[in-house]
Amino acid sequence: MLDVYLQTLLSGLAVGGVYALIALGFSITFTTTKTLNFAQGEFISFGAFIGVTMLLLLSGLASTTTAVPSEAASAWRYPAAVIGAGAVAGFMGILIFLLAVKPFAGKGGMNWVMSTLGFGVMLQSLGLAIWGPAPVMVPSPLGDNVLRIAGAGVRPQELLVLACAILIMVALDLVMRRSRIGKAMMAVAHSPQTASLMGINVNLVMIGAFALSSGLAGVAGVLIAPIASASLFMGMGFALKAFSGAIIGGLNNPRGCIYGGFILGVLESGIGLWQAQWREIVVFGLIILVLAFRPAGLFGQAAVDKV
């Protein structure tokens, strides 16, 4: 029985790692610009398909198919696809900031909600025109042979996802806390006006925040594709869960969002073990419960009005 729990925990952590990456992305734009990219789900799907396209092109295959052959993901091609998808999604993040967020940010009102949602719908239609509606099976670069860890069966991709997610988040955490650019980002997060008095180009930091946040979504898409298979409709569900994770953890606390993502992944997987059909009901019920008692999230700081 213990092996089943371990298996559930590991796959929960793997999916949770993906939620955490995306949740961190939400937190990055929220803290620096007080806005969220509601097209994040489409960035995940787009990332997955850019990854698929790169895998196929790099191995000299046709650019559309319903299943990527496993040799196409081998060796250096998968890491290249992850980085490529992150870069393309990051670039699209700059576009969405300049076109759909900047004109409305900091002016009050919720126009950016509609404009980022709309950007997402446009992206999805564009994706359907390029890749079509059919999901694409994506092989794991580590193969599909189930590994046995203390009796628990684990797919190698799950371990890869978990390792990549942790690596990326630890690296980002170090950059945010130790480097000058990280401290400048923290300054912008606290007060864009005061940050500009330090000679910080606030606009550039905000562009960087959107690029980083969207890049994380793109990377998450390629990481999860071998587990969930790539589909232009996959992103929405992941983005919603990741957003819930961010809310549970506290949107204004990047570390809290990471914890929130992991908590949600493990919870979901644990409840799925018990009653799969109750999974969503219990998960979102818990989110509402958490918010009722801790409106700023488990790890968030309640906003204190300054005198």
Partner 1 sequence: MLTLKDVHLAYGPIAAVRSASIDVKAGEVVAIVGGNGAGKSTLLKGIAGLMPVGSGQIVFEGEDISRLAPHKRVARGIALSPEGRQVFPDQSVYDNLTLGAYFRKLPNDALDAEVEEQFKLFPRLRERRDQLAVTLSGGEQQMLAIARALMGKPRLLLLDEPSLGLAPKIIQEIFDIIVSLRRSGITILLVEQMANMALAIADRAYVLETGSVTLSGTGQQLLHDPKVRAAYLGVSHSAA
Binding site for partner 1 (CB under 8 A): 180, 183-184, 186-187, 190-191, 193-203, 306
Please name the residues in contact with 66: beta carbons below 8 A apart, sequence gap of 6 or more: 134, 135, 136, 137
**To the nearest whole angstrom, how small is the minimum distance from the Cβ of residue 206 to partner 1?**
13
Q: How far is residue 218's CA from residue 90's CA, in Å, rounded to a whole number?
A: 8
Q: How far is residue 227's CA from residue 243's CA, in Å, rounded to a whole number?
A: 20
Reading the block at residue 182, the tokens are 């990280």
Nearer to partner 1, 196 or 231 (CB): 196
**To the nearest whole angstrom, how small is the minimum distance from the Cβ of residue 199 to partner 1?**
3
Nearer to partner 1, 95 or 186 (CB): 186
Nearer to partner 1, 69 or 182 (CB): 182
Reading the block at residue 294, the tokens are 């801790």
Q: Give alpha helix (H) positions in the chain.
A: 2-33, 40-58, 77-96, 111-131, 156-178, 180-190, 192-197, 202-228, 234-249, 254-274, 279-293
**To the nearest whole angstrom, how small is the minimum distance from the Cβ of residue 209 to partner 1?**
16
**To the nearest whole angstrom, how small is the minimum distance from the Cβ of residue 195 to partner 1?**
8
List the beta bridge partners of residue 234.
Answer: none
Nearer to partner 1, 125 or 194 (CB): 194
**To the nearest whole angstrom, how small is the minimum distance from the Cβ of residue 259 to partner 1?**
18
Nearer to partner 1, 275 or 301 (CB): 301
CA distance between the termini of the chain: 56
